[in-house]
Amino acid sequence: MPVVPPTAALAGVPAGVQGNGLWIGRRQLFVRFAAEAETATMYTPDALVTELTRLIGRSTYHSVSVSGRDPLANAAFLRAAFEKQQPTLPTMLDCDGQRPESIGEIVRFLGLVQVTLEGSPPEPVIERAAASLKAAAGASVAHALVLAPADSTTDGQLLRMISQAHTTSTATAVVVHPPGDSAEQDRRWLTFMEHAVALHGDVRLVPRLSRPTGMR
C-alpha cells in the first residue's frame, strides 16, 4: 500500500513581526499550528513547501518561525516537508519544550530552538524544557530559553530557571520578558539582572512586542 503523507492543521502561514524571544522584532513567516479555537486549513508537506517557496519569493523576511499550538506534536509532518525542501531562510522552532524526545526529528533543519515558559511553571515542566535545550545543544544548534513571568512570579523562581538553563548548557541565550510596565519597576529589574548575570552570562531583559492581528 502507498504511504499516506502526514497532514497538519495550520492557521495559515502569515507574515508578521516576532514579538517574543531571541529574534524579537524580526519580520518572519510563521508556520502556525492551529489551536482548537482557530480556523484551520489542512496542509500536506508538499503544500507547505509550495506555500513557503511562494511567499519567500515574493517578499523579504529574516526567517521562518515554526510555532503555534504544540508544534512538536507534528514533528513527522515537519520532517516530511523539510526533507522535500528545506526553507532557504533560517528556521526557528518556538515551543514550550515539553516534547524533548521529538526535537531530534527536525533539529537538523533548524537554526534556533527556542523554549518559551510562561508564568511560574512547576518543576516537571522546567525539567522537560531543560531536556529540550540539552537536545538542541547536543546537536550544536543555537538555543534559547524565553521566560515570560506573571506578576506573581518571584525573582527567586526566575533565577532558579536561569540557573538550571546554565547547568544544562552554558550556550543558552536567556531572554526575560518582564510583565506589565517594567519602567515602573526599574529598581527591581536592575537588582534581578545583577543576580541573573552572575548565574549565567547571556541574559537579556526585553519588553514583549504586541503581535499583529491574527498572530495572537
Buried-exposed string 141-164: b where 16+ CB fall within 10 A, e elsewhere: bbbbbbbbbeeebeeebbbebbeb
What pLDDT was estimated at residue 22? 97
Q: What pLDDT band is residue 185 in, cutting at 50, 70 and 90?
A: confident
3-state secondary structure of 40: coil
* pLDDT tens, position by position, 154-164: 999 999 999 99
Give the sign of the dihedral formed by CA 52, CA 79, CA 136, CA 150: positive
Give residues with Cβ within 8 angstroms of 118, minimum separation 6: 148, 150
pLDDT band for 35, please (50, 70, 90 cuts).
confident
- Residue 164 CA: distances (Å) to CA of 42, 82, 195, 206: 38, 32, 14, 20
Give CATH superfamily name and number for 8-205. Answer: Aldolase class I (3.20.20.70)
The secondary structure of residue 111, as a DSSP letter, is: S
- 51 within 8 A of 45, measured Cβ to Cβ: no
| 53-112 per-position pLDDT tens digit | 999 999 999 999 999 999 999 999 999 999 999 999 999 999 999 999 999 999 999 999
Residue among 205, 183, 185 at smallest CA distance from 193: 205
Cell of 202: 547571556
- Residue 3 contacts by C-beta under 8 Å, 6 or more apart in sequence? none
Residues in a beta bridge with 94: 114
Q: What single-letter DSSP state applies at residue 16?
A: E
Residues 190-196, mean pLDDT to the nearest whole number: 96
In this prediction, residue 211 carries a pLDDT of: 67
pLDDT-derived band at 213, boundaries 50, 70, 90? very low
Q: Where are the domains of the chain?
A: 8-205
